[in-house]
Amino acid sequence: MTALLDPPARTTAGEQDLRRGAARVLLGNWAGTSTVPSRTLYPHQWSWDSAFIAIGLRHLSPRRAQRELESLFAAQWGDGRVPHIVFNPSVANGAYFPSPDFWRSSTAGRAAGAPAARETSGIVQPPVHALAAWLTHLADPRESRRRGFLPRLYPRLVAWHDYLLTARDLGGGGLTAVVHPWEPGMDNSPCWDAALARVAPADPAGFRRADLDHGHPADRPTDLDYGRYVQLALDYRDAGYDDRAAGHRFALEDPCVNALLIAGERALAEIAACLGEDAAAHRARADRLTEALVARLWDEDAGLFLARDLTDGTLVRERSVAGLVPLLTPGLPEPVVDRLVATLDGPGFHAGATTLVPSYDLTGRAFDRTRYWRGPAWFNTAWLIERGLRTHGRHDHADRVRAAILETAGATGFAEYVDPTTGEGRGARAFSWTAALTLDLLAAGRETGKGHR
């Protein structure tokens, strides 16, 4: 442990303290083969959390970062999907809801290839994994090659992306769709309000919300919305998690999810080239996805990308941080990049207290500075936007976002998210992806002097 906590040479005292603090969070949240997001509200392994965690963990232990991803993909389903939760069998069912006995993955998901020996959820989360795998490999290529990390993970990553672009191309336009508000990771976003309003909630007597044991009701989704989440999950489970049979009442194309899929395909191209496989196929797929993203989800008037509701085919007129994450995409037309940056600097997404980006338009009809994904600023989306700004050479702007992430992470005890109007930490503390992405930005700054990657 001491070696992992030791700071590298040529860091300031403040950076050393921040690095030690972030390392302690990840070491404290390590559960043997993977990392829990927090020791309170989230006692299992979450899919996109593990990807972000691996990105930071590689700076402490590349081998442990590899294990983080390997443990997640060990629970991959036969149809290619990577479940959004892999349950720790030593944790009691009552510690988290929905628990394994709700999802019933090993029985209800049998036809879809759910693992028989490991309980998981039946839905997915955004595909950050190929990017995380490539960055993890680059942290220590010799150790990666020695362990056969990329040869083992590459076919699983390909199967994962294939699932998203076949079974989940529900709109027929070449993009992947989400079928539950928990899938895009931004669970309680106002972007889902209209689609959720079509869903009758589950009987509240049939379940107990464990999240309220650890979070204030004013910060969490309402009981009405939570009942709708539960009903959608029940419908999917009862359809055997079969995307053809489910008749999804909630189906949307989300710009963040698809931007991450594009980034993932570009990472798969790098992995394929490293392994002597066909990299051109992944680059071509990334180009097609980029064209579809712009054609289907870009809205010039809104100044960012919007989600598309596949029930009626319309764009959802709600501006969220998901619409800014496509800055990650290198093939965007320059006028689109300029417009995104202008939106980022405009009154909707420029908060006075922190340069972290609010999860929802500050001037929007549903803005709530403390309620989950309806306004609070998150560290993972800020990290994605920082990386996207650098992708397009906007380094001065990216430097400001990087500085805000580092300052706010340290000041809030590595909070889950923050109030964008005050910078106050909210949600869980000692949150794993906040610590992990802090480590990544510290390492980037040390390697290049200004954080350029």
Look at phi and psi of residue 80 and say left if phi exceeds 0, alpha if psi is from -120 to 50, else beta: left
For helices 432-448 and 47-57, what crossing angle results, to 10°?
Answer: 30
- Over 50: is that where the pLDDT of 76 sits? yes
Q: How many other CB atoms are there within 10 angstroms of residue 288's CB atom?
A: 15
Q: Which of 49, 79, 187, 399 is catalytic?
A: 187
DSSP string, 234-290: HHHHHTTT-TTTS--SS-EE-HHHHHHHHHHHHHHHHHHHHHTS-HHHHHHHHHHHH
Phi, psi for 189 (deg, rounded to 5): -60, 145
Annotate 156-187 with b (16+ C-beta within 10 A) or e (fewer): bbbbbbebbbebbbbbebbbbbbbbbbbbbbb
- Over 80: is that where the pLDDT of 318 sits? yes
Q: Determine whether 338 is an active site residue.
A: no
Per-residue model confidence (pLDDT) at position 446: 55
Q: Which of 183, 225, 399, 416 is catalytic?
A: 416
Look at phi and psi of residue 244 and say left if phi exceeds 0, alpha if psi is from -120 to 50, else beta: alpha
Annotate 209-247 with b (16+ C-beta within 10 A) or e (fewer): bbbeebbeeebbbeeebbbbbbbbbbbbbebbbebeebe
CB 175 within 8 A of CB 169: yes
Render pLDDT for 118-177 as a digit per residue (tens, 0 to 9). 999 999 999 999 999 999 999 999 999 999 999 999 999 999 999 999 999 999 999 999
Higher pLDDT, 216 or 169: 169
% residues pLDDT > 70 (the chain): 94
- Over 70: is that where the pLDDT of 322 sits? yes
- Over 70: is that where the pLDDT of 292 sits? yes
* Least confident interval from 131-145, 201-215, 310-324, 331-345: 201-215
Per-residue model confidence (pLDDT) at position 448: 43
* Least confident interval from 131-135, 210-214, 408-412: 210-214
* Least confident interval from 202-211, 267-276, 362-371, 383-392: 202-211
Range 303-311 average pLDDT = 98
Per-residue model confidence (pLDDT) at position 452: 42
Mean pLDDT for all residues in the chain:
94
Per-residue model confidence (pLDDT) at position 4: 54
- Over 70: is that where the pLDDT of 445 sits? no
pTM of the model: 0.95
Q: Determine whether 416 is an active site residue.
A: yes
